[in-house]
Amino acid sequence: MKRKRILFVDRGAASYIERDIDLLRERFEVIRLSFLARDLSGLPGALFIQFFRCLVHLNGSDVVFVHFAGWGSLLPLALARLGSRPSVLFLHGADAVSLPDLNYGNFRKWPLSAVTRLSLKLASRIIVVDGSLISSTNPIGSNGPTKQGIRHFVPDLRTPVRVIPHGFDTKVWFPSEVQKEIDVVTVASNLGDQRIRRLKGVDKLLSVAADCPELRFLVIGWDGATLSDLPSNVNVLPRVPNEELPGIFRRTRCYAQLSLSEGFGCALVEAMCCGCVPVVNKVGAMPGILGTHGRSIEASQDQELIEAIRWACDSPPERAFEVAHYAMTRFDLRERREALFRSIGDLIK
């Protein structure tokens, strides 16, 4: 029996993208098209190439998957609609928010907001990794709390929306009884950019580190920028290969994610699976990910944040294993796999 074919559109390498492709290839043929425009100057050429590649591959495809709403989603979804092909649009974070103070989020400016809105309406189905991308309130902002999520920005949206969290391979991400050499770790990308450091809460974490000289901090994802006033108890590393992260997490007591906006937080869950007790900022998906297994604090509350991180670092081994069991059970990769297969089955019966 011939396999059904998925035309899979993404924005390039990411661990969760690679995981989904591996899952889908268990049952389907996957044709992958990556939209790699990184700035406006490269946009016309990327759209031109994408248009013709979609025309070539759409005819033999049964369903179109697109990760991230924006410029890279508009043509595949429009062509799928014109060709009477079902389509699924996956949202991950920036494509459901507007934070002008941080220059972050698709809905903060036109025409990206219009392109995102149209993409949401063109899709046959929308899948989000967390309910906060549907509707939520972010307390961060110069003018106070702001409404976020696609229901706020597209109130007339009729496309069905479903929540399917990321899943993680518990054969890779699991705890062990090794000596803890690191007290607090955080992971992000492009931390050489000051705006990204603020968005990901790294500047706040460095401030906490300065007030906790007895603790050892590790920041992963530091690329190029140097800081003369980096606290002496903070080590920084560039991006490390994914296969090295489990070992680092298992040697760490606390994972801190102080982002000012977060659609999910894959590194957060990976660290929890490895036994890191989490402390997060009370925004986006993160409080819901933790449940009762960690501390969710408003990052502006400096003393509460310091106390929460010290509490996590003082956790007994039993708490670390409880956190790991919870995360491994709730975010098992098999659950996402079955949910994705059911969604495809509903579209191409």
Six token digits for residue 35: 């939209």
Given a cut of 80, whether residue 278 has pLDDT beyond it is yes
**CATH 3.40.50.2000 domain residues, the chain:** 5-167+333-347, 182-330
Cα 132 to Cα 75, 81, 157, 202, distances in angstroms: 26, 27, 16, 22
Pick from 10, 42, 95, 23: nearest CA to 343? 23
**pLDDT tens by residue, 281-294:** 999 999 999 989 99
Asked if 278 and 270 count as a contact pair (C-beta separation under 8 A), the reply is: no
Largest CA distance in the chain: 63
Q: In angstroms, what is the C-alpha Rg of the chain?
A: 21
pLDDT band at 168 (very low <50, low <70, confident <90, very high): very high
Given a cut of 80, whether residue 166 has pLDDT beyond it is yes
Residue 312 is predicted with a pLDDT of 95
Pick from 111, 47, 97, 96: nearest CA to 76? 47
**pLDDT tens by residue, 174-223:** 999 888 999 999 998 887 778 888 899 998 999 999 999 999 999 998 87
Q: Average pLDDT, stretch 79-106?
A: 92
Letter for the amino acid at 70?
G
Asked if 152 and 221 count as a contact pair (C-beta separation under 8 A), the reply is: no
Six token digits for residue 44: 């016309």
Letter for the amino acid at 96?
A
Average pLDDT, the chain: 90
d(CA 174, CA 168): 10
Pick from 237, 211, 221: nearest CA to 310? 211
CATH architecture of 182-330: 3-Layer(aba) Sandwich (3.40)
Pick from 178, 251, 187, 174: nearest CA to 216? 251
pLDDT band at 126 (very low <50, low <70, confident <90, very high): very high
User: For the structural domain made of 5-167+333-347, what CATH number should be given?
Assistant: 3.40.50.2000
DSSP tag of 278? E
Letter for the amino acid at 291?
G
Residue 82 is predicted with a pLDDT of 93
**pLDDT tens by residue, 115-124:** 999 999 999 9
Q: Which residues are paired to 8 by β-bridges?
A: 32, 65
Asked if 186 and 202 count as a contact pair (C-beta separation under 8 A), the reply is: yes
Q: Average pLDDT, stretch 149-167?
A: 95
Asked if 76 and 6 count as a contact pair (C-beta separation under 8 A), the reply is: no
How far is residue 182 CA from its own chain's centroid? 24
**pLDDT tens by residue, 215-263:** 999 999 887 666 667 888 999 998 888 899 999 999 999 999 999 999 9
Three-state SS at 99: strand
d(CA 247, CA 229): 29
Six token digits for residue 51: 């248009």
Asked if 115 and 153 count as a contact pair (C-beta separation under 8 A), the reply is: no
